[in-house]
Amino acid sequence: MSGPKKKPNLLFILIDDMGWKDLGCYGSTFYETPHLDRLASEGIRFTDAYAAAPVCSPTRASIMSGKYPANVGVTNWIGGQTAGKLIDAPYIRHLPLQEKSVASALKEHGYQTWHVGKWHLGGEDHYPDKHGFDVNIGGCSWGMPLNGFFSPYGIETLEEGPEGEYLTDRLTDEAIRLIRQNENDETPFFLNLWHYAVHIPIEVSAELTERFAAKARALGLDRLEAFAEGEPFPCEHKQHLRVQRRIIQSDPAYAAMVYNLDWNIGRLIEALEETGQLEDTVIVFTSDNGGLATAEGSPTCNSPLQEGKGWMYEGGVREPLIVRWPGAVKPGSVSETPVTSPDFYPTLLELAGVDQLPEQHEDGVSFVPLLRGEESLERDVLFWHYPHYGNQGGTPGSSVREGDYKLIEFFEDGRLELYNLKEDLSEEHNLAGEQPELAEQLHCKLRDWRERIEAKIPEVNPAFSR
């Protein structure tokens, strides 16, 4: 008589700044992602998956807590402070210890909990080991590799590698080491692999970059205009600069970073297979915000989505999401049902066979039914609240999506924009004037939600001048 079935291992892969269209299976024709494309063919790909914010820390706090960023209080990237016509709204600069993280919940039910990679949810007193992780490799207060992607890194929670070692390779090596150590261990693991890639600085080997430079030349991309100069930045510290919108995917170095990342995901999956753990592991792959498309080198383009990181439009929040769950997910499935960052907490608990904690993950809904082939969830509305200026050109605002419709309220002037995402994915035709009743209905829901969670609203900046 066999014993009880082992709980599945959980591998949660979070990429930094990866855009919705940065994978081949999402439509990129320049970047090459064969391993992630294969992962999608073996699992389910979500077309309408969202980050809870257009920048990193709020989304990360949301994943860990099961709450919207405004409900946790972490609404900006930690360390960010900007102003323009409005004064930056206050926010909490760490993941509060009173939030019971998904790692803590899984640890209480017998899981080994490992964090590898970027954290950016507070200083040492709020590192991963303070939030339920047994292991922390590379997680610190940094939001990017401040010394670059090549060793020496200077990351206090990561032992230095040989000079010239590449960070994405190293973090994958560390994850593989943990997986191999677990080969004969019946204890399930939760591996939280949060890569620093593909955040700036855009750095990778010259050899790999040249591969994609040659591809760009072969496709004639090097002869096309890659950027469109836009308006002056609305935030005070960048008023002297203009938004630079990338209009095609053609940056060889960024393509090389994506390719290297994909190769590393392939190595990780291979290690699971070699140790006999692949079929006992649920793999989740997603990103923390939209691709960087309008500033800081503008290395990618999210078209047909509007804008990118730091903006309230779809390019800032719509993400790739792939889930491989052997024996449960029909290979090659596609779901068009919207899901968002707070949903990961209850979903991971359900995958682990752990009771839900609705008082903690109060904004999340388990999307396990979608993984099993159902077409909808018992939820109609999604919310976002970003009361800050993005370094990339976006302005403070809130938004709500119900069905195919999305309403954005911009705080600088109170402007409302309404879009039918099914018919207008690029958010080019504002319907607020044509459908005022629907706009008011959604605006009312947005205001009521903000009031209920006591969301912070930015105030007028009396010192602003242009």
H/E run at residue 398: strand 397-402
Q: Domain of 230: which CATH number?
A: 3.40.720.10
Displacement of CA 220 from its chain's centroid (Å) = 31
Phi and psi at 274, nearest 5°, equal -65, -30
Write out pLDDT tens, residues 241-286.
999 999 999 999 999 999 999 999 999 999 999 999 999 999 999 9
Write out pLDDT tens, residues 420-437.
999 999 999 999 999 999
In a domain, 462, yes or no: no
What number is the average pLDDT over the span 403-413?
Answer: 98
What confidence score (pLDDT) does residue 465 get? 80
Token reading at 65: 């807590």
What confidence score (pLDDT) does residue 314 get? 99
pLDDT at 2 over 90: no
Q: Please name which of 16, 275, 391 lies closest in space to residue 167, comparing C-alpha atoms.
A: 16
Q: Please name which of 432, 439, 350 lies closest in space to residue 400, comparing C-alpha atoms.
A: 439
Least confident residue range of 1-15, 119-133, 428-442:
1-15
Spatial separation of the C-alpha atoms in residues 450 and 249, rounded to whole Å: 37
pTM of the model: 0.98
CA atoms within 13 A on the CB side of 299: 23
Token reading at 345: 């907490």
In a domain, 436, yes or no: no
pLDDT at 1 over 90: no
What number is the average pLDDT over the span 365-393?
Answer: 97
Count CB-CB contacts under 10 A for residue 157. 17
Residue type, 156: E
- Domain interval for residue 190: 9-379
pLDDT at 463 over 60: yes
Token reading at 222: 């090097």
Q: Please name which of 87, 86, 59 lies closest in space to residue 75, comparing C-alpha atoms.
A: 59
In a domain, 392, yes or no: no
Spatial separation of the C-alpha atoms in residues 426 and 138, rounded to whole Å: 37
What confidence score (pLDDT) does residue 178 get? 98
Write out pLDDT tens, residues 45-64.
999 999 999 999 999 999 99
What confidence score (pLDDT) does residue 5 get? 63
Spatial separation of the C-alpha atoms in residues 196 and 145, rounded to whole Å: 7
Are the CB atoms for 116 and 82 separated by under 8 Å?
no
| Residue 343 neighbours by CB under 8 Å, 6+ apart | 364, 365, 366, 367
In a domain, 419, yes or no: no
What confidence score (pLDDT) does residue 50 get? 99
Task: Classify the phi-psi angles of 324: left when phi > 0, otherwise alpha if psi is within -120 to 50, otherwise beta.
Answer: beta
Q: Please name which of 371, 202, 394, 364 lies closest in space to residue 289, comparing C-alpha atoms.
A: 394
pLDDT at 3 over 50: no
Write out pLDDT tens, residues 283-317.
999 999 999 999 999 999 999 999 999 999 999 99
Q: Please name which of 200, 221, 199 lies closest in space to residue 212, comparing C-alpha atoms.
A: 221
| Residue 437 neighbours by CB under 8 Å, 6+ apart | none
Q: Please name which of 388, 444, 391, 394 lies closest in space to residue 416, comparing C-alpha atoms.
A: 444
Percent of the chain with pLDDT over 90: 98
- Provide the domain count of the chain: 1
Average pLDDT, the chain: 97
In a domain, 81, yes or no: yes
pLDDT at 22 over 80: yes
Beta bridge partners, 113, equal 190
In a domain, 88, yes or no: yes
pLDDT at 466 over 90: no
In a domain, 55, yes or no: yes
DSSP state of 162: S
In a domain, 451, yes or no: no
